[in-house]
Amino acid sequence: MADGEVGAIKYSIKPINFSGKAKITLSIDADVVNKDSNYDEKFWDRVYEEAQMGWAIVNAQTKKTQFQVCTGIEYGLN
């Protein structure tokens, strides 16, 4: 946590008393509405996005200041 602008979350799922199938849907997007804006204005413009099996990334920038942020997910199935 030395860098306040970086974060990570790790999940693992272990069935307990369950032998059926489970479906998990993962996604990321830049579809954020700024609550302080008028008319539900979108906060980000998407610059780049890509998804492959096992990972996805979205690069977006703020509409007013063009500040860019990249976010991504990576997952594996065992």
Per residue in 42-55, pLDDT tens? 888 899 999 988 89
Answer yes or no: is 40 within a domain.
Answer: yes
Answer yes or no: is 3 within a domain.
Answer: no
Answer yes or no: is 52 within a domain.
Answer: yes
The domain tally of the chain equals 1
Rounded distance between C-alpha atoms, residue 47 and residue 30, angstroms: 10
pLDDT > 90? residue 57: yes
Rounded distance between C-alpha atoms, residue 42 and residue 44, angstroms: 6
Structure confidence at residue 28 (pLDDT): 83
One-letter amino acid at 23 equals K
Rounded distance between C-alpha atoms, residue 64 and residue 74, angstroms: 30
Residue 26 belongs to domain spanning? 22-78
Answer yes or no: is 71 within a domain.
Answer: yes
User: For the purposes of burial, counting CB atoms within 10 Å of the CB of 19, is it exposed (0-12), middle (13-18) or buried (19 or more)?
Assistant: exposed
Q: List beta partners, residue 29.
A: none
Per-residue confidence at 68, pLDDT binned at 50, 70, 90? very high
Answer yes or no: is 16 within a domain.
Answer: no
Answer yes or no: is 77 within a domain.
Answer: yes
